[in-house]
Amino acid sequence: MREITEIFIHCSATKPQWMYQSTADQKAAEIRRWHVEENGWKDIGYHFIIDRDGDVVRGRPIERAGAHVKNHNAKSIGICLIGGWGGAATDQFEEHFTKLQEEALLKLLDDLTPKFPDAKIRGHNEVANKGCPCFTVSEFIDDRRTKETKDVQEGSSNTASLITSIINLLVGLLRK
C-alpha cells in the first residue's frame, strides 16, 4: 500500500439534476469518460464518488495514485461529491450537497481515517485556486465534531437523568 498523507474532498461541478435518472455507477462512468477521453488520463481521477442519494462508488483503486490534485496525487486519496455547480470556496456544504451525501462522506471518512491516521482531510480549494469542493472542509469537519461532542454530552446527561429516575422509582417502590 502506498503512503497516504492527505484525503482531498472534491465536487463534480455539476448541477443538482445532472444525470438525475442515472445510477451512481453511471455517473462515475461519465466522470471516468471525461477524465480518460477528454483529459487523456489512464482512469478516473478520484478514488471515491458520492452520489446525491448517498451511494458511494469506488473509482480508481486506492493502491494507485489518483489524478485529482496537481502535485499531491502520489500520497493522497480523492473523494468527489456529485454537485457543486457554480459554487465558491466559502459556500456552506448544505448549499450544494444533500444530507445523504453528508452522511455518506462522514462514514467514508470514518472508514478511511483509521487506515490512514496521519492523513490530513482537505478541500481541493486549499491547494488550488478553485472553489472546489464549494465549502471549507476544515469548518465542515469541525462543525460536525462539535455537534457529535454535544450530542454525546447531551446523551450522557440524558442517560444519567434516566438512571436517576429509575433509582428514584425503585426506591419509591421499596418504601411501599
Annotated catalytic residues are: 10, 46, 124, 130, 132
Strands 56-58 and 120-123: unpaired
All 3 cell numbers of residue 80? 468527489
The angle formed by the CA atoms of residues 156, 157 and 160, to the nearest 5 degrees, is 90
User: Collapsing DSSP states into helix, strand and coil, what is residue 80?
Assistant: strand
* Bridge partners (DSSP) listed for residue 14: 84
79, amino acid identity: I
Residue (of 68, 65, 64) closest to 49 by Cα position: 68
